[in-house]
Amino acid sequence: MNNEEIKLFYLGKKVLFPHCTISVSLKKSKLSSGLSAGDKIIVFPTRYFFDILFLRRRISTLAEIVEVEHTESHIRLQLKGLARVRVSKARGLHLARYNIIEPDIEANKNSRIAKELRIKAQELIFIINVNESDRLIELINYLVDVSQITDFVGNYFVLDYTLREELLNETDVYNRSIKVLKKLQELIEKISIKKD
């Protein structure tokens, strides 16, 4: 268990994956007022109020605040996901201790799966053909392990909130990669049919 007690925030219908970034807007409050760049916080995806009851069973993301922007009534945060964590102890609704969930080393370094994920993701990007396609294809080549690739795909190509949450909660790297490969294939087939 990490002895550090840090602030916990709930993301309404948003998922922050490790190795990815997200912008969020929070109402100004005692809890959010002291936040600054460099602080670490835990973010927990929620759909309904009662999701809070399952805090310890589900996965959260340890995040670093990259940028803070203050407006009159809100604070906008740019967050970078650092790792999957499980809340081990909560104090009230907004303070928690956590355990980092380390990915399985063997599954994470599986070069066959990493190569297959890269190829499918690059194929999808090529089919979509947006202005940033070349940059995204090149970026995927720099991702080192299976966990990073699955998180990248989950963040940029999975729009369905339920599946995004499922991918975040899947701690087994191999199982997560199989789900991502299946989703990539579905997207490739769907877009190919539309283009024909």
Which band of pLDDT confidence, cut at 50, 70 and 90, is reported for residue 172? very high
Q: Model confidence over 110-144: pLDDT tens digits? A: 788 988 999 998 888 888 876 777 777 788 888 87
Closest CA to 150 of 179, 112, 109, 191: 179
pTM: 0.86
* Residues 103/173, Cβ–Cβ less than 8 Å: yes
Q: Model confidence over 97-112: pLDDT tens digits? A: 899 998 888 877 778 8
| Tokens 């929070």 sit on residue | 26
177 has pLDDT over 60: yes
d(CA 150, CA 168): 10
Range 6-100 classified under CATH 2.30.130.40: yes
Closest CA to 91 of 5, 4, 1: 5
* Residues 98/161, Cβ–Cβ less than 8 Å: no
pLDDT, mean over the chain:
86
Fill in the DSSP letter of residue 18. Answer: B
What is the per-residue pLDDT for 55? 64
Tokens describing residue 131: 């202005």
Count CB neighbours of 50 within 10 A: 8
H helix intervals, the chain = 30-33, 105-108, 111-128, 133-142, 146-157, 161-169, 173-195
DSSP element (H, E) containing 75: strand 74-91
Where do the structural domains in the chain lie, given as residue ranges?
A: 6-100, 105-195
